[in-house]
Amino acid sequence: MEQTKYLVVGSSHAALEALTAIRMHDPEGSLTMLTRDPHLPYSPTVLPYVVSGRSAPDNVFLRDEKFFAEQKISLKRGKALKALHPARNAAELADGSEIGYEKLLLATGASPAIPPIPGIEQVGYHVLRTLDDATQLNAAMKASKQAVVMGAGLVGMHAAENLVKAGAKVTIVEMARQLTDGYFDATAAALIEKAFTDNGATILTGSRVVKLAPSATGATLTLESGATLEADLLLVATGVRPNMDFLAGDGATVARDKGILVSESMQTSVPNVFAAGDCAQAKSFYSDARVMNAILPDAAEQGRIAGMAMAGDPGIKAYPGGIPVNTYHFFGRHAISVGSSKVPEGGEVVTRFDEASGRYLKVIFHEGRLTGIYGVNEFFDAGVMSQLILRRIDLAPLRERFLAEPMKTAREIMSRTWR
Amino acid sequence: MGAYNTIAFDAAKCDGCGDCMSACANTKVGADDALKEAPLGGTARSRIQIGGTAETGYELALCRQCGDPKCVTVCPAGALGKDLSNGVIGWDAAKCVDCLLCTVGCAYAGIALDEATGRVAKCDMCEGNPSCVKACPHDALKLVTTSRIYNEVGGWEDLFAPGLAGCQGCNTELLMRHTLRRVGPDTVLATPPGCVPGMGSVGFNGTTGTKVPVFHPLLTNTAPMLAGVKRHYKRIGREVTALAIAGDGGASDVGFQSLSGAAERNEQILFMVVDNEGYMNTGMQRSSCTPYGAWTSTTPVGQGAGGVHSQGKTQDAKNLPLIMVNHRCEYVATASTACMEDLYDKLDKAIEASRRGFAYLHVYSPCTTGWRFPTDQNMEVARKAVDTTFVMLWEYTRADGLHFTRPVDDPLPVTEYLKAMGRFRHLSDDQISHIQSKVVENLGFVKQLAHGAKA
Ligand SMILES: Cc1cc2nc3c(=O)[nH]c(=O)nc-3n(C[C@H](O)[C@H](O)[C@H](O)COP(=O)(O)OP(=O)(O)OC[C@H]3O[C@@H](n4cnc5c(N)ncnc54)[C@H](O)[C@@H]3O)c2cc1C
Ligand code: SF4
Ligand code: SF4
């Protein structure tokens, strides 16, 4: 059986940061990266731009072969983890071979969740999570005249914008009452919706697809209301589910809930096994509950911590808990959200909306501290705002200035406090 | 890997004029002053942002060209990366997909949206010659070189053996390792009794603690022995650096006569004195370089047997480097490990001068054991000595006279230095004011010499 000191499964953000952290502390220990993807490492987040054609599919890689050679990392592409045998520290691959490890990181991320709608397996549909998904969608998009996007999360919205710009008639179907539910509030969502409808998209919120059937065009979708839609291109973007199927059988000793449960150092319930990124369920910043916070910056941070823990780096700091952060560009505008959209008990919400410029700002305070800030066309530094929240900085003395000029005031506090 | 430069900001000198921002916007996007107040014109598009007010102080948002850049970590497009030749975090406009995730990663507002273009923008250091620095009328922005020494000498061989038995946190060990690394392998080293041989550099069991020839002269004859060795090498036609690393006791007390003689004869040697202000190796006795008021084992504190209360040393320290200036050597300088770049500059000059004649380098070296401060405080104590002008950093050549290499604009009160260590803990107010007045007097004296040099 092949043996490696560190085995990292996955080749995206969480996994790459773990490599960096491990090599920072242990430049020599044998290190193997395993990924089921056939390509060099890339980010799912860049895929909408591969779909649109803006990024060439061979120009999005985050590391090259030289990096792996220099860092003495054995990269195994196109090799999937099939089962885990934690009792004997072994990983079983889809091809039947096994790799023994001293420390294992599961950074397997997530895959599109396919809703169990009758008929869905009979129709052809696209998803968007891998580079191959993106090149296929890019090819299909060019021929599309009428496309339907199921799900108005950021993945669906990005794709819908691309389809609109490619000249298709686009309908977005969303179960929730508003677009980008969970990312942005109703006011922001309305601004986003307007940008889409202005550009010719049709948006059906509060609508559920109940049936799918093949048709001459491609697929016929039947909505709860009884109405039907024809699609020559169907994109399913109704959310994601973490990749952890390999934890059946022997691997079932690794505790799971919605994702793989991890401690503040990304350790699972089983010795020598760590998890980070979209597949992991880690501490929230706002409570002791463990949550899924499937965003890129968190995947990177968790991966860094996991790598440090695996290598025994004494500089490790406990994970402070994740906060949701999203940046979203649409039709030349941008929306940014930092922190929790929930207003805590005793919390205070201040909103400012200038209809003429479409500038929208919403700030949530609790006991003088920032817990969330949202903007549409109102730029502020999300990284600085995150720090204000994570450091629980008292903004009471600067409240008015902060509301008037959030970006400028936050930068001043940054410069004074942690520069 | 080359040296990295960064832009340093001195908030105390900034008056918020905004000239740096105009200069940046002009250079990068050609937005001119007329647009200064216009939305998204002028200063709004600068990559350096000054905030704050006169009352609260001025603040800065600017990319720090991080060593561990979070913007790079979170960029999904591989559009950001560190250029290892100059340390700059570069942005690839063609690869960037405008997702703004870098503004999430960066906690310093170092990369931000330029609303006029809808794209992110960050400082690129203007190819090593930043417009903002040139534009600042108040010297509040400075281009400083970081890690220069590490980049340059980090890969060179340490010519002392590993595992020398210095005290934990010993400044002298740091200093001598740097020095020999710089002076190089073609060196003969003389090191008289003191901490340097005491920690094993002259060897154990028949092997030396150095990778160059080393010998152990007496306290009294270091300079002439070394001068003789140098002359021998000259006679056989071999170019070597003759280096002495001696303690302050050996140099300023019993070894002074022979040191002075060698300087007077202008022997071609480099004489470095490691001044830890006492005979620390043998049990912390006072030397003529021990400062007034300091506790040592021979200038104790407390009720003496004869009923005479003792409060540390009762005489002021001898200023050995100034005495060496009066030998009109090829080169004389003072240095401190608090200012390594300055030290390295002086080492270079001293090595060079020693090819022509006598070069003397006096390095102030805090002693954790003898001065009684925690072992991790060495640099802090060294820095305080410089910042209070308790020690002064200057150099002298016959051609240019004496001048300060690190003038201190606003010296801290000497108490900042005194309270950093235990050997001054007992001082009375009178003693402290004596020390403070000596610091002022010494500074004035050296200033006079420096002034005279310029005239
Ligand atoms: C279209 C799109 C847009 C997005 N936009 C944003 C955004 O704007 N901002 C944001 O913060 N986040 C965004 N995200 C989410 C972000 O990409 C993820 O949070 C992030 O990629 C998570 O990183 P990860 O390393 O945990 O997992 P992933 O990126 O999902 O990577 C998982 C890795 O594991 C490998 N793998 C999976 N299963 C196995 C197995 N069994 N064996 C071997 N290898 C396996 C995969 O091949 C892959 O390499 C977006 C996602 C998508 C799809
Ligand atoms: S943009 Fe921010 S994170 Fe990136 S190098 Fe500059 S300061 Fe560091
Ligand atoms: S905005 Fe550009 S540089 Fe910044 S993270 Fe996105 S792709 Fe990278």
Task: For residue range B147-161, list pLDDT tens digits in order.
Answer: 778 878 888 999 999
Best of A61, A158, A330, A384 to substitute, by most chain B Cβ atoms within 10 angstroms, is A384
What are the boundaries of each domain within chain B?
A: 4-146, 156-454
- What is the CATH number for A402? 3.30.390.30
**Pair A220, A287 in one domain:** no
**Subunit contact B74:A386, Cβ cutoff 8 A:** no
**Pair A217, A121 in one domain:** yes
pLDDT at residue B155 in the model: 86
Enter the pTM of the model: 0.80
**Mean pLDDT along residues B333-345:** 95
Expressed as residue numbers, the domain containing A377 is 332-418
- What is the CATH number for A95? 3.50.50.60
% of chain B residues with pLDDT over 90: 83
Task: Tell me whether domains B4-146 and B156-454 share a fold.
Answer: no
**Domain end residue (candidates: A238, A269, A296):** A238
In a domain, A321, yes or no: no
What does the longest C-alpha to C-alpha distance in chain A come to?
67
**Pair A9, A100 in one domain:** yes
pLDDT at residue B306 in the model: 74
Distance from CA of A123 to the nearest CA of B (A): 32
**Pair A249, A104 in one domain:** yes
pLDDT confidence band for B454 (50 / 70 / 90): low
**Pair A31, A56 in one domain:** yes
A87 pLDDT above the threshold of 90:
yes
A136 to each of A52, A128, A142, how far by Cα in Å?
Answer: 11, 9, 10
**Subunit contact A408:B51, Cβ cutoff 8 A:** yes
The answer to whether A311 and A324 are in contact (CB under 8 A) is no
Task: Report the alpha-carbon distance of residue B236 to residue B226 in Å, rounded.
Answer: 16
Number of domains observed in the structure of chain A: 3
**Mean pLDDT along residues B108-116:** 94
pLDDT at residue A217 in the model: 94
Q: Does residue B52 sit in helix, strand or coil?
A: strand
pLDDT at residue B37 in the model: 47
pLDDT at residue B41 in the model: 52
A415 touches chain B (CB under 8 A): yes
Rg (CA), chain B: 26
In a domain, A325, yes or no: no
Residue showing tokens 């001898």: B318
Q: Determine which of A48-62, A256-270, B46-60, B67-81 has the lowest per-residue pLDDT on average.
A: B46-60
**Domain end residue (candidates: A238, A253, A268):** A238
The answer to whether A147 and A169 are in contact (CB under 8 A) is yes
B145 pLDDT above the threshold of 90:
no
B-proximal residues of A, 299-328, CB under 8 Å: 300, 304, 325, 327
In a domain, A49, yes or no: yes
Task: For residue range B185-216, list pLDDT tens digits in order.
Answer: 999 999 999 999 999 999 888 889 999 999 99
The answer to whether B198 and B279 are in contact (CB under 8 A) is no
Residue showing tokens 């303690």: B247
Task: For residue range A142-169, list pLDDT tens digits in order.
Answer: 999 999 999 999 999 999 999 999 999 9
Q: Tell me the H-state helices in B50-205.
A: 70-74, 101-105, 131-135, 148-153, 171-183, 195-198
**Pair A136, A231 in one domain:** yes
- Alpha-carbon torsion B25, B27, B33, B39, what sign? negative
Which residues in B lie closer than 8 A to residue A415 (C-beta atoms)? 51-52, 59-61
A200 pLDDT above the threshold of 50:
yes
pLDDT confidence band for B34 (50 / 70 / 90): very low
Mutate to test the pocket of ligand 2, among B102, B108, B120 (most ligand atoms within 8 A of CB): B108
B75 pLDDT above the threshold of 70:
yes
Residue of higher predicted confidence among A367 and B38 = A367
Task: Report the alpha-carbon distance of residue B256 to residue A61 in Å, rounded.
Answer: 67
Q: Tell me the H-state helices in B313-377.
A: 320-325, 340-354, 368-371
**Mean pLDDT along residues B178-184:** 95
B455 pLDDT above the threshold of 50:
no
**Pair A13, A103 in one domain:** yes
A391 pLDDT above the threshold of 60:
yes
**Pair A101, A128 in one domain:** no
Residue showing tokens 């973490």: A242
The four Cα atoms A355, A359, A365, A370 give a dihedral, to 10 degrees, of 180
Mutate to test the pocket of ligand 2, among B6, B47, B68, B71 (most ligand atoms within 8 A of CB): B71
**Mean pLDDT along residues B246-270:** 97
**Pair A120, A231 in one domain:** yes
**Mean pLDDT along residues B342-368:** 97
Compute CA A122 distance to the chain's CA centroid, rounded to the nearest angstrom: 28
In a domain, A412, yes or no: yes
User: Which tokens belong to A165?
Assistant: 């710009």
Task: Report the alpha-carbon distance of residue A273 to residue B63 in Å, rounded.
Answer: 37
With a threshold of 0.90, tell me whether the complex ipTM lies above it.
Answer: yes
**Mean pLDDT along residues B319-341:** 97
pLDDT at residue B42 in the model: 60
Best of A154, A330, A412, A416 to substitute, by most chain B Cβ atoms within 10 angstroms, is A412
**Domain end residue (candidates: A208, A238, A268):** A238
In a domain, A194, yes or no: yes
The answer to whether B77 and B95 are in contact (CB under 8 A) is yes
For B4-146, CATH gives: 3.30.70.20
In a domain, A324, yes or no: no
Q: Determine which of A148-152, A263-267, B288-292, B408-412 has the lowest per-residue pLDDT on average.
A: B408-412
Mean pLDDT of chain B: 93
A321 C-alpha vs ligand 3 centroid, how far in Å?
A: 24
For B156-454, CATH gives: 3.40.50.970
In a domain, A252, yes or no: yes
**Pair A133, A228 in one domain:** yes
Under the phi-then-psi rule, with left for phi > 0, alpha for psi from -120 to 50, and beta for the rest, what region is B293? Answer: left
pLDDT at residue B409 in the model: 87
User: Considering every ligand atom, which ligand is closest to the CA of B123?
Assistant: 2
In a domain, A317, yes or no: no
B259 to each of A11, A36, A64, B192, B273, how far by Cα in Å?
Answer: 66, 73, 61, 12, 11
A90 C-alpha vs ligand 2 centroid, how far in Å?
A: 39
pLDDT at residue A341 in the model: 82
**Pair A218, A262 in one domain:** no
**Subunit contact A414:B108, Cβ cutoff 8 A:** yes
pLDDT at residue B395 in the model: 98
Beta-carbon contacts of residue B74 (< 8 Å; ≥ 6 apart): A13, A296, A297, A300, B101, B102, B104, B105
A227 pLDDT above the threshold of 80:
yes
Q: Could you write out the DSSP letters of every residue in A47-80? A: HHHHHHTSS-GGG--S--HHHHHHTTEEEETT--
The contact set of B with A (CB < 8 A) is 49, 51-52, 56-57, 59-61, 70, 73-74, 76-78, 95, 97-101, 103-109, 112-113, 115, 118
User: Which tokens belong to B351?
Assistant: 């090595």
At A399, which amino acid appears?
R
